[in-house]
A and B are shown apart, each in its own frame.
Chain A
Amino acid sequence: MHEYPITEQIIKIASEKAKENNARSITRITLVVGEQSGFIGESIQMYFDIISKDTLCEGAVLEMENIKAKWYCPDCNIHYARQPFSFACPDCGNDGMPTNIGKEFYVKDIEIETE
């Protein structure tokens, strides 16, 4: 359910950009989806196939670039993937801090066909 309005938004962003560039159709849309964005690629794809009918996006391939969430340890100056039930840095054992790596959710680029 939660992916439906988001998929409409993706189609809107891609279609507007395509129109600006006089596209006849869009053949590919690349999304960057962070692990912590809360969005599921398969679910977006399912809605995309339905909502994109009769739009410039119909038939486009949806490509997802998934990004793993990373934590940061200021003491060791490293980024790391946290273990379940822990926020600890693997080097020093102190709790690090959350970062924006893994929260991405944007349309990166599109491939269009022009006359």
Chain B
Amino acid sequence: MAEKEIQVVQNIFDENDRIAFATQEKLGKMGVFVVNIMGAPGAGKTSSIINLIQQLSENKVYVIEGDIESDIDTVKLKELGIEAIQINTNGACHLDAPTIQSSLDGLSFDKPGLLFIENIGNLVCPAEFQIGEHIKMLICSAAEGSDKPYKYPLAFEKADVILLTKCDLKTYVDFNDEFFLKGVRALNKTAPVFEVNAKTGQGFEDVAGWLLQRKG
């Protein structure tokens, strides 16, 4: 019997990333632009998706709703005539590439357009897993406070675009714009930050314009 040491150096995310890349390529070829939506519970992810879809009315939109166990958001989307499916993770705190890949059959993809994937409400692990997206959109509400970039740096570092929602609450919650933006810029030099209000729809036209430009 002999013992020996073997060098491995293999990234544990490799398999996930390989599947994510395959999904991204497949949907990209069909003209479907994939947006991974990350944010804390209650930040306004579903309301933002609905507002964006209203602005994107010329485009076909698909939605995958990730949720730990409910389908409340999916029911709401379907009532609005949006093609949406639900994934329940049964306790898992994020979506991963194999889960998304196996859920794609549930959507028609009969036209080019955009696919919004609402990740599980959590600012930690959704930032660690690629799921097949072209871009990551981070939704952060003014009500959560201006210290979020300092507490969840990875989510801000990985974001391609940041939405600051519930901006009408800024004065009530002492939101410090300067502190927030300083943190965002230390982590991420390029992602645009859009201030929006899902109740009035304010700001979403600009976000939709940015998305369409990015989609190309």
Q: CB within 8 A of A2: which of B4, B16, B92, B185? A: B92
Asked if A91 is at the interface of the complex by the 8 Å CB criterion, the answer is no
Asked if B82 is at the interface of the complex by the 8 Å CB criterion, the answer is no
Q: Which residues of A contact B11 (CB under 8 A)?
A: 105-106
A2 to B126, CA, bound (A): 10
**Interface residues in A, total, Cβ within 8 A:** 38
Q: CB within 8 A of A108: which of B3, B9, B127, B185? A: B9
A109 in contact with B186 given A2-B93, A2-B125 (CB within 8 Å): no
Asked if residues A1 and B92 are in contact (CB atoms below 8 Å), the reply is: yes
Q: Which residues of A contact B150 (CB under 8 A)?
A: 84-87
Asked if B67 is at the interface of the complex by the 8 Å CB criterion, the answer is no
Proximity string of chain A (26-37) to chain B, C-beta cutoff 8 Å, 1 when within and 0 when not: 010001000011
Asked if residues B8 and A109 are in contact (CB atoms below 8 Å), the reply is: yes
Asked if residues B186 and A111 are in contact (CB atoms below 8 Å), the reply is: no
Q: Tally A-B pairs: CB < 8 A.
A: 93
A27 to B2, CA, bound (A): 11
Q: CB within 8 A of B154: which of A27, A38, A97? A: A38
Measured CB to CB, the nearest residue on chain B to A69 is B153
8 tightest A-B CB contacts, nearest first: A95-B186, A87-B186, A107-B8, A106-B11, A85-B150, A38-B128, A111-B5, A13-B10
Asked if A75 is at the interface of the complex by the 8 Å CB criterion, the answer is no
Proximity string of chain A (1-32) to chain B, C-beta cutoff 8 Å, 1 when within and 0 when not: 11001100110111001100100100100010
Q: A105-B12, A111-B6 are in contact. List 17 more A-B contacts (CB 8 A).
A: A1-B93, A2-B93, A6-B12, A9-B15, A9-B16, A10-B12, A13-B12, A38-B125, A38-B127, A38-B154, A97-B186, A98-B153, A98-B157, A105-B13, A107-B9, A113-B1, A114-B2
